[in-house]
Structure 1
């Protein structure tokens, strides 16, 4: 497990990471999201020991992390670190050896990964001859060489086409299946919502929300969609409800006030069914799942 405790980093008089704390549990994908300048990349660089700390600490399994620990991490920087003049396979073998693999093992592992990403026929090409998307694929392969004990990936899906995204997702799932903690940043909130076990949301260098997607959803209003067999305008008169929208027989509502964290969809459902069934047939009553993008806007506003 990667444990971040009170990380702080300043550049001059500007604090860019301010008392940031979170955990990346084993076998889970933890999404790191926030706007440009929120402090994601700086935090990742501190986790990897590439930037000094002005406060806080990074732990690995409840003890201070060491350089030896970090050498067994797979790291993918935001600014790609490939050698443009070197051939793809030769470079991957070299990077694998730096990570502790024997040359033969590094070559076999790299060749399998290149095949998986559809790059087997480009193994002898110089990196600079590849498209930016294919360079991204090579960088991902480099981070995954040598069975890393943790992964820290800064925008790993940037520039990938849908098939490469699918391959990347499969690879990450394989890593978490063997217990690897994975921290990755992304601006693609729909993908983060689909993949992540946990989320950490940064704004202006501070953590403003963290937890599972469902835990973050529970912070917001409990909304339900009601369909009845006549006009649904009567929902405006139901005490304790706020009407988000009414369109003929369809209404979207939420609790006007949330008296406690336990007040949820059951309270909304109870109020609607009591009144709705008294007035006529309730055709449908279903939860409205709040998109992650809306949750993100709310916590970073």
Structure 2
């Protein structure tokens, strides 16, 4: 039975790629009965008499998956945020980081339009705080081609999902790295300060020895699937200090002898990261009450 990876799902068809090429397939009827949906990134078994008439028969075990956007077996997420237009937001970046950490995916932070940050100490300080946490932070510019080689290197032998605000230059960056792609891009709206989504379906694009997932973006960044007690696991600087707290199940808010609060007072944890943790914690608790 041949095996392959789904690299695109569109209009009820799954495009399965292996060493023999790309096969257009439909899913078996029993997937629907079993409430299973093949996802881009899935390793599957399939049968096909030719390149345009095949069926996906089974889905192999996934190591992870995202629902919005729908994709599976991701190695890492390149979170692209721009220095300007739209404005760089650590609050939004931390929302993305929590979702990526919760799905056991390696996050990599990429600042696009870095040519616009020369006089912005606030952005530089924020990026340094993320580096101190242990995140890989890349700075790129499609204008002067800064940092592009470093981005190319991280794609090798990995499946990488691209995420971030619309208008930050995701498609522009991919086009700069590989001009043959010719992905659609849109200018930023002066009125809204953000761009329109130009990607309409999930597709894995071969990049060297790896794949890049061009997606329509995260349609929801709510914390519906995250329990408040687990939130601290998705902030690495809080997670590593949890065992040193006096009380098991410490929320790092008002408990005595909290190692996280002590680290905050000693400037070992960035204040903005802790503030976002508190904000997300309250948001999750409020969501649970509503449901």
Please report the TM-score for the alignment, with normalisation by the length of structure 1: 0.25
Greater share of residues in helix: 1
Greater RCO (Cα-Cα under 8 Å, separation 6 or more)? 1
